[in-house]
Structure 1
């Protein structure tokens, strides 16, 4: 695994949703690095990838959640080593019991599948059905790491670019949360 600058030169075999992420970042003139790797389905599988991305990079769990009625949907970015407590988050956002949303909602709203959940999927949420939630600790590192809507590559870019340029272009106002 090797960290490379920008989009792949050869797009053969890349899915359209991944290419759309590179197009989106390039349109915004975001400087980013990329590492290609085997499919990473769990945080444990991401450990080697995390080392390539570097210590100054926030590697997060991306949790796709919904309320009990499956009428409100949330994408939570939380540090990979931080435990997720549903009750704590529910109280902060004023939502009744949260649970993991079904994969079909993930595909419907974000055009991503389990194991590939990423903030970049919000570019596909044109109906704005998903509320972005970011744990405050994500913002403390200089760089942010995420998948380009597939779990066979990982991206690294400045956290300031995420907050000041990428999220506004995604047209999703984040809610910052504090989770223990």
Structure 2
């Protein structure tokens, strides 16, 4: 059975990555409230069903994409149950077709491994190499469910606070598309 802890409103006692620590430090600095759970390692959206039930929200799907030359990078946030189409994404932005970025770049640029891609990686993108792109459908959700930068920590935050407070603090202006 997939383990999901009780709900916490405070940061973990011990951090398992630099990104996870920066995430909770930034949320505290911005006074952004959250609810979080600790879990068994969750990699797929199917793993998130129990997490969604516990936190009473829907987890977003966060994809790390790049062009063929691996010179342009996109962090795409969409609804968890939505199928990704590279063609539709690229068309919406008016760019050549993209694909999933290699795992090594995900670890290097996002500070996460597969299954833990998160908007909080904007904290590590000091040079603004990554364009953060939101599916319009995510913005209609009251709650934003995502990884805390690990595959064993998940949280819910008000969607408006991610868009207006968090991304503003990181100096990332999100692109909003409909796909």
TM over 0.5: yes
Aligned position for 2:71: 71
Q: 2-side partners of 1:91 and 1:69: how far apart?
A: 18
Deviations 1:15-37 (A, max 9, x none): 33212211111011111111111
Q: 1-side partners of 2:10 and 2:135: how far apart?
A: 27
TM-score where L is the length of structure 2: 0.93
TM-score where L is the length of structure 1: 0.93
Query: Aligned to 2:9, which of 5, 8, 16?
Result: 5
Runs of at least 5 residues in structure 1 that lack an aligned partner in the other structure? none
Q: What's the offset of the Cα at 1:3?
A: 1.4
Runs of at least 5 residues in structure 2 that lack an aligned partner in the other structure? none
SS at match of 2:54: helix
Deviations 1:131-171 (A, max 9, x none): 00100111111111111111101011111111110111121
Q: What's the offset of the Cα at 1:65?
A: 0.3
What is the root-mean-square deviation in Å for CA atoms of aligned residues? Answer: 1.2
SS at match of 1:164: helix
Q: 2-side partners of 1:108 and 1:135: how far apart?
A: 25
Verify the 8 A CA contact 1:33 1:156 in the aligned structure 2.
Answer: yes
Q: Give the 4+ runs in structure 1 shifted more than 2 A.
A: 13-17
Q: What's the offset of the Cα at 1:117?
A: 0.4
Verify the 8 A CA contact 1:75 1:131 in the aligned structure 2.
Answer: yes
Aligned position for 1:111: 111
Aligned residues: 175
